[in-house]
Every structure is written in structure tokens, then in C-alpha cells.
Structure 1
């Protein structure tokens, strides 16, 4: 029964919504309900371990300085390695660590050619956040 439900899952991509079974690119998705179960201080750390290929690098353990850099499929050697964040269709370079996990419906990570719709700024991947 669960296998047939998984085939009917819908994923938000750069140019609309597709069924998970028909997507050809590398995409990973986690629901807001799953993120709320995490004991992490911020949303950035909640994504790690739930989405394949997503790595978080904590800058400090100091309280109030809990910002994590997120990398998709590792860290490159040249230039900016940060992914593009798209929150409810609005692209920005800011982090997502201050978003309330209770307000999130889903987080989708677009890797490789799946992120091409966003152009050169998405060369390191895209993190799509859909709020409720």
C-alpha cells in the first residue's frame, strides 16, 4: 500500500509541480511535520540527515551564533558554494535558519540539472521552501 502512495507523491520543482515518479532529475524532499520532530536549534541543522547529499557546517557552538552553512553534494574549491534559497517562489541568498519549522509545509532540494531553471545562481543547488 505504501509503495503506491509513494508513486503518487507530488514534488514542487522550479517550473511547477510534478509527480515524484516522473521526475528525471535529482530531487529530495522532506515534509514540515518531519522537520518539527527534530530537536535541532535551527532549521538548517534539521535538514541534515533527512535529505541525501545535504551537509551543514556549523560555524560556532556559541548560543545565538547557531548559523549553519548548507552545502549540497559537498563543498567546491572555488567561489561561493552556497545554494540558492527559494522561499514561496522568491529567490534569495539568505539562510533559512530563522524560519519557524511549524510554518513550513515542505522543503525540496534540487540538485544538478534540476536546478537549471534558476540559472547560474543555482549552480550549487536550490533549496525550495514552501510555507503553509
Structure 2
């Protein structure tokens, strides 16, 4: 079992999903990017590839509710994350936990307290190639 806090997940730069936040932070968790495009989809494997025809994605449990689509949650909304990668996952969640379980606890509001947090990031997906521009202008 591995546990990560919200500070550990967002440390090291801007991330857009849970997969990018987990990359390199928990042993035994393999995160791969499926496409070369920036912001492309990622896949998470906790216990390797167990099935040829079925899904190898882990089970996500967000605030006690099991789901198969937990990778698109905002990492800034996560308070803590626990990763079950051994027999304890199947003992608790049965066959659904055969590929591992990622338990996500989100941040919650507190009564009589106001808290506003802003996190912003700007980037480009199509950088300008200065070499093409320079070659075209010198011909």
C-alpha cells in the first residue's frame, strides 16, 4: 500500500490528471502516455497486464464510491490518495480489485470557513518553429 498527500501529488509542476500526478511517485505503479500529443490520454497499471481481452485499468474509489473513470479528476481537488496493489485490494473489493485499487479522498468544505484558492497554468500545443521561418525568409 502506498499513500500520497495532496502536496506530494502537485509537487514538481502543473499536472492535468491523476495519471500525471502519480507518475514516479509510487513504486510499482506504471503510468504511460498513450499519445504523443500534449495533454494526451494516459493509462495506469498497478499489477501489470493481467488480462488479454479485458480491461487492465485499476478500480478507482472516490470518497467511498467505486468507479472505473477516476483518472480525469482534478489533482488540486485531491486531499489524499491510497494505492492498494496486493491481496488487500481483492480482499476488500473482490474481483473488481484484481488490477489494483486507487482510493481517492477529495477536499471537503468546512462549516463557517471561507477559502478560495486559484491555480492557473497557460501553455501552447503548437510551438512556432524558428528554423522554418528563418529558412523561408532567406531564400
Q: State the TM-score, normalized to the length of structure 1.
A: 0.71
Does the 8 Å contact 1:38/1:46 carry over to 2? no
For the residue of structure 1 that corresponds to 2:20, the secondary structure is helix
Larger RCO (CA within 8 A; separation ≥ 6): 1
Structure 1 counterpart of 2:70, from 90, 95, 102? 95
Q: State the TM-score, normalized to the length of structure 2.
A: 0.68
Structure 1 portions without partners, runs of 5+: 1-26
Question: Counterparts of 2:28 and 2:7 in 1: how far apart (Å)?
Answer: 21
Question: As a proportion of its length, which structure holds more strand?
Answer: 1
Question: Counterparts of 1:43 and 1:29 in 2: how far apart (Å)?
Answer: 14
| Number of corresponding residues | 104
| Aligned counterpart, 2:96 | 121
Structure 2 portions without partners, runs of 5+: 108-139
- RMSD of equivalent CA atoms: 1.6
Question: Counterparts of 2:79 and 2:60 in 1: how far apart (Å)?
Answer: 15
> Residue deviations 1:12-64, cap 9 Å, x none?
xxxxxxxxxxxxxxx00111111111323422121021111101121112245
Structure 2 counterpart of 1:109, from 76, 83, 90? 83
Give the CA deviation at 1:77.
Answer: 4.6
